[in-house]
Amino acid sequence: MTVADLKKGETGIITDSSSGDIPLKLLEMGCLPGNTVQLLQLAPFSDPMYLNINGSHLAIRKKTAALILIKLTHE
């Protein structure tokens, strides 16, 4: 499962973000294995996605979100 598969309000734990296509800026902002990610909101047409990653709020494109692997948590 990837971040792009999340539904509004769902939370997951990042398991892999080692793709070379993920911008360094995202990694610096906490998009690293072990961190939690929650989908807060989707823009019209589902792109971009507004996320909470370990307390940091950021918007990323769905294409980039599809590169970040997660494990869904049940809170």
Give per-residue pLDDT as tens, 19-75: 777 878 887 787 889 999 999 999 888 789 999 998 889 999 999 899 899 999 876
Report pLDDT for 75.
Answer: 60
Report pLDDT for 7.
Answer: 93
Secondary structure letter of residue 63 according to DSSP: H
Query: How far apart, in whole angstroms, are the C-alpha atoms of residue 41 and residue 46?
Result: 9
Q: How far is CA 42 from CA 47, 48, 49, in A?
A: 7, 6, 5
Arithmetic mean of pLDDT, 1-15: 93
4 vs 45: which has the higher pLDDT: 4
- Domains along the chain with CATH numbers: 3-13+23-73 (2.30.30.90)
pTM score: 0.83
